[in-house]
Amino acid sequence: MSLLFYISSFVALLFLSLGAPFVAVLEVIVYAGAIIVLFIFVVMMLNLGKDTAQQESAWLRPRVWLLPSLLCLILLGEMTALLIIGTEDKMQISVVDPKKLSMSLYGPYIIAVELIGFLLMAGIVGAAHIGKHTKKHLHRYLQDPETTEINI
């Protein structure tokens, strides 16, 4: 199951090695705690079959993807070579502690924090509104027998 690969391919360890312990902890909490659980619930509710994977494997013949992936590999190698040949400087790892982070978060970035609050509120309301089963309740004078069965 590719969700498990996604969990195991976290960049949180990379964040820890980059000196960002607070963000690493937050990444693990949000992703492993919330998003993966959401995905697993949806996959359980949907009860997917095997036919889509079969169709994907039939659609992805090697003749189709070989040449574009070769070109993309060449481009990626070029970019990697350019990045490595260029000014190779060792980063001095300095741990940015959560105190500095939160001082900056509620200092100059307070507008962005409020905007992100708006976005999360809109996300909650949107998910609750889309996720509920819409059942039209019209007034009984407005109901006629043809439109009462509204296809949901």
Partner 1 sequence: MMPIGSNTVLVVAAALFVLGLAAALTRKNIIFILIAVEVMLNASGLAFVAAGAKWHQPDGQLMFLFILAMAAAEISVGLALVLQIYHQHKTLDVEDLKELRD
Dist. CA 38–CA 56, nearest whole Å: 24
Contact string 14-43 vs partner 1 (x = CB under 8 A)? xx-xxxx-xx--xx--x---xx--xx--xx
- Report the residue from 8, 44, 56, 111 that binds partner 1 according to the rule CB under 8 A: 56
Q: For residue 23, how many other CB atoms are within 10 A of its CB?
A: 16
Closest by Cα among 35, 28, 25, 34 to 8: 28
Q: What is the token pair recorded at 93?
A: 């790892």
Contact string 79-118 vs partner 1 (x = CB under 8 A)? xx--xx-x-xxxxxxx-x---xx--xx---x--x---x--
Q: Which of residues 48 and 141 has its CB atom nearest to partner 1 in the complex?
A: 48
Q: Which of residues 99 and 137 has its CB atom nearest to partner 1 in the complex?
A: 99
Dist. CA 23–CA 38, nearest whole Å: 21
Residue 47: phi, psi to the nearest 5? 60, 60
For the stretch 142-149, contacts whose Cβ atoms lie closer than 8 Å and that sit 24 or more positions apart, written own/partner, are: none
Positions touching partner 1 (CB under 8 A) are: 2-3, 6, 11, 14-15, 17-20, 22-23, 26-27, 30, 34-35, 38-39, 42-43, 45-46, 48, 52, 55-56, 59-60, 65, 69, 72, 76, 79-80, 83-84, 86, 88-94, 96, 100-101, 104-105, 109, 112, 116, 119-120, 122-124, 126-128, 130-131, 133, 151-152
